[in-house]
Amino acid sequence: MAATAQTNLPPCFLMPAAWPLRPILNQPLVRARPSPAPTSRASTARFAISAAMKGESRSSIIEKEQGLYEKAPVVNVDGQLADRWREIHGSGDWAGLLDPVDPLLRSELIRYGEFVQACYDSFNYDPYSRFCGNCRYTPASFFANLGMADHGYSVTRYLYATSNIELPNFFRSSKLHQKTWSQKANWIGYIAVSGDEATARLGRRDIIVVWRGTVTVLEWIEDLKTSQHPVKARGIPCPDESVKVESGFADLYVNKDATCRFCKYSAREQVLSEVRKLVELYAGEKGEEVSVSVMGHSLGSALAVLNAYDIAEMGLTKVGEKAVVPLTVFSFAGPRVGNARFKERFDKELGIKAIRVVNVHDSVPKVPGLVLNEQVPALLWRILEKMPWSYSHVGVELGLDHKLSPFLKNTRDISCFHNLEAHLHLLDGYHGKGRSFASASGRDPALVNKSSDFLKEQVLVPPYWRQDENKGMTQADGRWLLPDRDDHELEDHPQDTHHFLRRLGLAGHQQT
């Protein structure tokens, strides 16, 4: 039964009767069809449409018919970031930057969102490839293959997670079971660092930790255990056992498999060792100004929040006894992660900054558990926050509304509401409450339909258009085959991983 219809709770509550999404929406999930192919972010999709045959551009047609291509006045933010990056990273909790939206903040949110989108654009979804579930590119060629070389970052490490957990819908596996690259692992993200030229432009050396989420399919939510456990019980240091997080997120973060080449270290161990190494190198040995930016979309957002909490608890933002490295989470369409005590520890005691970009019609940020907000009476809050289904969001929220975009159609496909490219489109056009939607950067709305069917038909962009030519098949020696890779070319863990884990005091790690 729906709790809101059976209780006297005020309207600020929403308690799912059964975990968690279908009862909230009272409609079936729509399984979207993400295409397996990557997309260059430096180029705009080109389509052979009848209008083009008549010499008319897509933009001119839309402009004539509905004026969809309204553009905001251009605000030049070039050169501002080096002086304002701490503010943009939440030093003032984004006060005065959200309504109206600060142009530099918008630019940075889109930039970090594109780092997250890169996970989707590079992930191998093809079940007929023996590399399904891995990244399509090597770390050295990652950004170049995605058309993002001008971002000025280099990948230092790939991240993997074991699929032997209770989130089966999150993982992808090949139909070639015995010949697959790994029967137990999936690629789950990457760590990168800004190069010298980008560092000068950014005003500091930026270390980014990027977590892969779920591009459209939302069934992973129903796999969660809907139970909280103390973070301390998962090996994450914490002085208070009442600080709890959702157990499914924690399992994905800390689980490992000693028999697996890619998962002999947990995702947690992989990140902590690399962040420690990079902070020591740049903030310690070189004495540079450094930031750590952790980001993700959907389930990846939950991992980003948990990971940032762990980084702070482990003291990785400190060089010596002095805290010198700002730590910020950039969350896109993320669920709740922990209880109210987790939020308090995260926001106030550890001082981690987090900004959450959400579509107000997306249901993922409303789960797991009971929805609470600041309007709950204090006495009722103290009672309910101890319940196992009580969760609280961390950080500051920037709420967007897809119904304000003239490009997006009315649909009941809830995966569209959750789509990351749609969030970036909304960021580009949102200027504040009561203000009209107008593109600030000219970001191509066609990107929304890469792996969705969310654009109106008059925009003249086909749905689910992202795909490889011939579905990745290539012809060699008269035969059509999917490209193969040498297993030795696959990314191994850095040889110094165990060294840095030992320095962090993390014992019992598997070596090979």
Residues that are catalytic:
298, 362, 418
- Give the DSSP per-residue string, 372-439: --TTS-HHHHHHHTTSTTB-B--SEEEEE-GGG-TTBPP---HHHHH-HHHHHHHHHH--STTPPP-B
Beta carbons of 431 and 440 less than 8 angstroms apart: yes
Q: Which residues contact 142 (CB under 8 A, 6 or more apart)?
A: 118, 122, 135, 155, 190
Radius of gyration of the chain (CA): 23
SS3 484: coil
Classify residue 229 as exposed, middle or buried by CB count within 10 Å of its CB (0-12, 13-18, 19+): middle
Beta carbons of 246 and 368 less than 8 angstroms apart: yes
d(CA 486, CA 482): 13
Nearest partner of 161 among 171, 169, 149, 148, judged by Cα = 171
A 10 A CB-CB count for 379 gives 8
d(CA 53, CA 48): 8
d(CA 400, CA 281): 38
Amino acid found at 243: V
Reading the block at residue 82, the tokens are 């080096």
d(CA 455, CA 446): 8
Amino acid found at 417: F
Q: Fill in the DSSP letter of residue 135.
A: B
